[in-house]
Amino acid sequence: MTENTQTPVWSLRNYPSVAWLWSGASVSVFGDALRRMAVLLTVYAVTDGSGMAVAGITLAEIVPMLALGLIAGVYVDRWDRRRAIILGNTVRGLLSLALVLAARSQSLGLVYVVIAASEAAGAVVQPAMTAIVPQLVPVAHLAQVNTLFVLSRQFSLLIGPVVAATAYRVIGAELTFLVDGGTFFVGAGTALAIRRPREVEKQAGSDETVGSTWWRDFLNGLARVRGDRLVMALLATIGLQSLGAGINNTVMIVFINRGLGRAASDIAWLSSANGLAQILAATVVAPLIRRRGTAGVLAGATITMLAGNAILAGSWSLFVLIVGVLITALGNSPFTIVHTTVLQQAVGPEYLGRVQGSLGTLAAVLFMAASSASGVAVDYVAARSLLIVSAGISASLVVVTLTRIVPALRAAKRLSSGRSPLRADD
């Protein structure tokens, strides 16, 4: 059961388990940001500034998601999700302590192994956190909870690298990794305070049994969502977003330097603008949903992102580029929050873990493919041309959203007369 049989006014005090989940997630997400920057600085120092060694960090982070995202999603649906969060964060804490040994021995191989293992544990924790939320709160409050998670992530991305760089200089890599390990232990500890969520009910006709195999469970879950046009459209939009983000991730620094004649370090201004805008946008998503409904907010978010990407592609100065980033970020937060909320509502709780795992794998594959391809292409074509391609992908995202997702959300609202799981539109 959720912690309130009647839906009260939204407040973390009304949902103590959500408060514990959010606080633990906030600390561990900060730990992720702290560790990434500390690892980057350590690898850069150990290898005397090797770009290939730095690129190896990205591979160590992405490959586990590619390999384990689908598997982890199935087992998240089988396991107690609260226990998965506890065990996953405990493992990540222990692995951060192993980075102390890697830093002391200056073993690059050990750093990569530890990072890959930590990301593998994270591949379990992330879908477990997403899938447990609908078990803890009524569907009417999913948007508020998802907003809290997005805000935590953006704050962590904003301050985590600065804190990590400062700690690295002041106390050194080894003590920084000790602090990082502590953040994951805190995340595991707060999960202990979560009340055991209501059990996930299996749908009639489900052939998931104690003796079923991972592959059978995965195919069963895939069959359940494959015929759902709304879910497939949601997967398509996250795929398109990942493609565009992968291009921008690689090309932007080149565009700043070669296209605008600015120092490559000026990309820091874009990171700060992105973080601040996403935080500001996230704070108004819930009120917007109450006024405009999920369909209206999602449509507005994708159109806003398209406008921002168009400005990025046409930028003639750093100031205009920052404006483009600000506008894109103002659409990005609402898109992420509403996308997650609709997915939680549209997918049955017994399949949410594997759908979330599939989504994470899809996003990682497409992001890496777009980032790699644009990294090769930018040496042969103008960076602006690739930003135009990214804007074109954003236009495709708008088309899918307006022609597939928005009509489905509005149809669900009309047909249900307010009783649909997608009632955030009401």
Q: Extract the tokens encoding 182.
A: 């502590």
CA-to-CA dists, residue 18 to 242, 328, 342, 371, angstroms = 29, 30, 19, 35
Phi, psi of 2 (to 5 degrees): -70, 165
pLDDT tens digit sequence for 368-422: 888 878 878 888 888 899 999 999 999 999 999 999 888 888 776 654 444 444 4
- The span from the CA of 198 to the CA of 200, in Å, is 6
- The span from the CA of 340 to the CA of 126, in Å, is 12
Indicate the pLDDT class of residue 220, thresholds 50, 70 and 90: low
Contact indicator for 408, 233 with CB cutoff of 8 Å = yes
Residue 408 CB neighbour total at 10 angstroms: 20
Q: Is the pLDDT of residue 205 over 50?
A: no
pLDDT of residue 419: 42
* Per-residue three-class SS string for the chain: CCCCCCCCCCCHHHCHHHHHHHHHHHHHHHHHHHHHHHHHHHHHHHCCCCHHHHHHHHHHHHHHHHHHHHHHHHHHHHCCHHHHHHHHHHHHHHHHHHHHHHHHHCCHHHHHHHHHHHHHHHHHHHHHHHHHHHHHCCHHHHHHHHHHHHHHHHHHHHHHHHHHHHHHHHCHHHHHHHHHHHHHHHHHHHHHCCCCCCCCCCCCCCCCCCCCCHHHHHHHHHHHHHCCHHHHHHHHHHHHHHHHHHHHHHHHHHHHHHHCCCCHHHHHHHHHHHHHHHHHHHCCHHHHHHHHHHHHHHHHHHHHHHHHHHHHHHCCCHHHHHHHHHHHHHHHHHHHHHHHHHHHHHCCCCCHHHHHHHHHHHHHHHHHHHHHHHHHHCCCCCHHHHHHHHHHHHHHHHHHHHHHHHHHHHHHHHHHCCCCCCHHHC
pLDDT of residue 422: 47
- The span from the CA of 143 to the CA of 155, in Å, is 18
Instruction: Indicate the pTM of the whole model.
Output: 0.72
pLDDT tens digit sequence for 10-64: 677 788 888 899 899 889 888 888 888 888 788 878 887 665 676 677 778 878 8
pLDDT of residue 333: 85
pLDDT of residue 207: 46
pLDDT tens digit sequence for 332-371: 888 988 888 888 887 766 777 777 777 777 787 888 888 8
Q: Is the pLDDT of residue 117 over 60?
A: yes
Q: Is the pLDDT of residue 161 over 80?
A: no
Phi, psi of 228 (to 5 degrees): -90, 110
* Mean pLDDT within 103-126: 87
pLDDT of residue 421: 44
Instruction: Kindly state the percentage of the chain with pLDDT values over 70.
Output: 83
Q: Is the pLDDT of residue 323 over 90?
A: yes
Q: Which residues contact 314 (CB under 8 A, 6 or more apart)?
A: 320
Maximum Cα interatomic distance, the chain, rounded to a whole number of Å: 64
Contact indicator for 256, 264 with CB cutoff of 8 Å = yes
Q: Nearest CA to 118 among 183, 193, 74?
A: 183
Contact indicator for 333, 158 with CB cutoff of 8 Å = no
pLDDT of residue 223: 63
Q: Nearest CA to 378 among 370, 386, 368?
A: 386
